[in-house]
Homo-oligomer: A and B are copies of this chain.
Amino acid sequence: MEKSVVVFSGGMDSVTLLHYVKETYGGPIYGLSFYYGQRHGKELKFARYWGEKLCKEHRVIVLPFMKELASKSALTSESIEVPQGQRYSRENQRITVVPNRNMIMLSIAVAWAEDLEVNKVFYAAHHNDREVYPDCRKEFVTALSLASQLGTYSHVEVLAPFVDKLKSEIVRLGIELGVDFSKTWSCYVGEERPCLRCSTCIERTEACLKNGIKDPLLTDEEWSRAVEFLREVDRDKIS
């Protein structure tokens, strides 16, 4: 019955993580979500839903300074467009990197853990992200966890149990754990409905397809369009 701090947005990966930590450790969860000026603030609506459902306490921390310091990221700057119609690759997605975002969020999570005398902090870095986002790599997690253990009285560990998993494997785990994916949000663009065309929409469609499920967030019509669009992207890549 260990206590944990879990960093989560309202995306598929971190909501699955929340269920996984609940299932594996069983103790009370202190949930932490962040608003750093991201376009897809909509995911926070879902974060709040899960926070209420699965956490002993859930806080949404506002980072007003991120927009100012991350002037070159399409996720926080309205004048830079989120790339659409492409899968993730280091070149085309570099613009979606919010510099050092995970270290900032994790350092705040570690502070809260230290204040609560909890010695485990979880976040949902996964294998698909490692190419584009250096702060999702295993070696980063290991070094940061060491710094965190050395820098706190409670020797707080930072853990990323999905760091070797592909997104499709996380979705499989989520299905096993009974996660309601209709209450998760991924799209980077930040409109009322998912754009179906940004890299994270494409990745989400693919992960659902690989598990033989329809994305439960989407209407039947949206799902058809999403699948069709994924085929187009792959055709373009081959030709």
Residues of A within 8 A of B (CB): 59, 61-62, 64-66, 68-72, 94, 97-104, 106-108, 110-112, 114-115, 134-135, 137, 139-140, 143-144, 146-148, 150-153, 156
B151 contacts A103, CB within 8 Å?
Answer: yes
Q: List 25 A-B contacts (CB under 8 A).
A: A61-B65, A65-B108, A69-B115, A70-B111, A70-B115, A72-B115, A94-B153, A98-B111, A99-B110, A99-B111, A99-B112, A100-B114, A100-B152, A101-B111, A103-B148, A103-B151, A104-B107, A106-B107, A107-B107, A134-B151, A134-B152, A135-B152, A137-B150, A139-B150, A143-B147
If A65-B61, A70-B115 touch, whether A140 touches B134 (CB-CB below 8 Å) is: no
Q: How far is the CB of A96 from chain B (nearest CB, A)?
A: 13
Specify which chain B residues have a CB less than 8 angstroms from the CB of A72 in the assembled complex.
115
B148 contacts A100, CB within 8 Å?
Answer: yes
Q: How far is the CB of A167 from chain B (nearest CB, A)?
A: 20
The A interface, classified by DSSP as helix, strand, loop or mixed, is helix
B151 contacts A144, CB within 8 Å?
Answer: yes
Q: How far is the CB of A44 from chain B (nearest CB, A)?
A: 15
Max chain B Cβ within 10 angstroms of own Cβ: one of A103, A110, A156 = A103
